[in-house]
Amino acid sequence: MKIYYDENMPFAAEFFGELGQLQSFSGRDLTAEQVADADVLLVRSITKVNQALLSENKQLKFVGTATIGVDHIDQTYLASRNVPFFSAPGCNAISVAEYVISALVVLAERYLLDLSSLTVGIVGAGNTGTRLSEKLTALGIQYKLCDPVLEQSGEDSRDFVSLEQVLKCDVISLHVPLTRTQENATYHLLNANNLASLTDEQILITACRGEVIDNQALLALKEQGHQLKLVLDVWEGEPKVLTPLIEHVDIATAHIAGYSLEGKARGTEMLYQALCQQLGIPAKLSLSALLPSATIDKVEIKQEFDQILLNQLVKMVYDVRRDDAIFRQQLSSQGFDTIRKTYPTRREFSAVNVTLTNQAKNDVPHRLGFSNPSK
C-alpha cells in the first residue's frame, strides 16, 4: 500500500511507517502525476483534493486531511468514487485558542488593558470557539457566542447572540469555517458595511480562513485612519497576501495559529486511527508516546495568580510576537509557504507542569490548560 503524506505532518513516518510504503510531498505543489499510484492520500489545508488532482489515480482507497477545515476537499467527488474521507475535527483547537490568549496578553501589555474587564465576542462556537471560551472562563473574562448554525440546530443548549451583538464586544475573535453557498455563508462575513461599525477601541482577531474578512475593505478602513486593533493569522488569497495591510496590523502571522506541535500531531494521530479502523487493524501507537519533553517543562508558582504572572507564564510557553517578527522579516524574502514549512517548534500550555505552593492557591494555570503534576 502506497501512502502519500504532506511533509508538514509531524510523526507521519512513525504513525504510518508500518502500514505501507511512504512518500512525502510538498502540499502546495502536488500534481496529479505524483499521486497517480497512491492508495492513501494524507493532506493539509493547502492541498486542494478534487477531480483535477485525482484524474490520474484509479486506485485511491482513503483520503484524509490533518486539519479541522475541509473547504479544500471536494467531498462530493470523493463520494462519487466511493473513496472514504476523514478529517481531524478539533485537532488544533487548543493551539488556536492559545494563540488568541497569547495575542490578548501581548495587546493588554501594549495598550495597558485590563483583561478581566473585556468582553470577547466569539464568532463560531465549534471546537475552536469552545476551547477559547473555556480558557476565557478560566481567566474570568466574559464572552458571547455567535453561531447561527449551532443555534438553529437546536442541539446546543448554550446561549447565542447575533453577529450584530458580537460586533459590539471589546474583542471579536473569528473561528468559523469558510462557506460560500449555505444560508449562513461566511465568505466576507465581515465586509465594508459591518467593519465600519467597529470602533477605534475594539480588537479584531481572525484565525480561521482569510476570506471570512474582506481584506480590501479592511485595508480601506485602516487607510482612512481607523484605529481598530488587528490580529490577523489568515489572509485572503493565501499564499498571496495583501501586503499594504500588514503595516496596519498589530500582530500578523502566516496562518500558524494551529501550528503547535501537539495541534499538528493530533491531526496525524487522528488520521492514523481512522486508517487503522478502515483497514480493520488495531491502532498500536499513541501521540503521548511520541511527544518530547518541553524545553521548560516545570514551573513552581509561589504567589497569587494575577495578570502580570499570567503574562509571564503564557509568554514563556508561547509569545506570539516571535511569529509576528518572523512574518514581517521573512515574508518578502522567503514567502508565505516557506514560513509555514519552516515553522519553529511551539508547544501548548499542557506541555508545562505547574506546581502551586500553599501561598498560591489560585488554580487558574491548571484551568487554563497547564498540567497539574499532582494529578
Here the CATH number for the domain that contains residue 24 is 3.40.50.720
**pLDDT at position 317:** 96
Are 314 and 273 in a shared domain?
no
Are 166 and 235 in a shared domain?
yes
Domain annotation covers residue 178 = yes
Domain annotation covers residue 373 = no
Domain annotation covers residue 227 = yes
Segment 312-331 shows an average pLDDT of: 97
Are 111 and 240 in a shared domain?
yes
The pTM (predicted TM-score) of the whole model is: 0.91
Statement: residue 375 has pLDDT above 80: no
Choosing from 44, 131, 175, 209, which is the catalytic residue? Answer: 209
For the question of residue 269 being annotated catalytic, the response is no
| Domain termination residue (choose one: 191, 226, 252) | 252
Segment 124-151 shows an average pLDDT of: 97
Choosing from 44, 255, 266, 347, which is the catalytic residue? Answer: 255
Statement: residue 358 has pLDDT above 90: no
Choosing from 236, 238, 262, 348, which is the catalytic residue? Answer: 238
pLDDT tens, position by position, 306-317: 889 999 999 999
**pLDDT at position 159:** 96
Domain annotation covers residue 166 = yes
**pLDDT at position 3:** 98
Are 83 and 97 in a shared domain?
no
pLDDT tens, position by position, 282-296: 999 999 999 999 999
Statement: residue 361 has pLDDT above 80: no
Q: State what percent of residues in the chain have pLDDT above 70.
A: 99
Q: Mean pLDDT, the chain, as a whole number?
A: 95
For the question of residue 340 being annotated catalytic, the response is no
Domain annotation covers residue 110 = yes
Statement: residue 360 has pLDDT above 80: no
Are 15 and 81 in a shared domain?
yes
| Domain termination residue (choose one: 243, 270, 289) | 289
**pLDDT at position 359:** 64
Domain holding 270, by residue range, is 2-87+260-289
Are 56 and 174 in a shared domain?
no
What is the C-alpha separation between 39 and 2, in angstroms, rounded?
5
Burial class (CB in 10 A: 0-12, 13-18, 19+), 276: middle
For the question of residue 209 being annotated catalytic, the response is yes
Are 152 and 30 in a shared domain?
no
Domain annotation covers residue 276 = yes
Are 33 and 173 in a shared domain?
no
Are 78 and 98 in a shared domain?
no
Other CB atoms within 10 A of residue 298 CB: 12
Domain annotation covers residue 374 = no
CATH number at residue 309: 3.30.1370.170
pLDDT tens, position by position, 182-239: 789 999 999 999 999 999 999 999 999 999 999 999 999 999 999 999 999 999 999 9
Are 100 and 232 in a shared domain?
yes
Peptide bond into 239 cis (omega under 30): yes
Are 325 and 202 in a shared domain?
no
Are 21 and 139 in a shared domain?
no
Number of domains in the chain: 3
Statement: residue 374 has pLDDT above 90: no
Statement: residue 154 has pLDDT above 70: yes
Domain annotation covers residue 52 = yes
What is the C-alpha separation between 99 and 151, in angstroms, rounded?
26
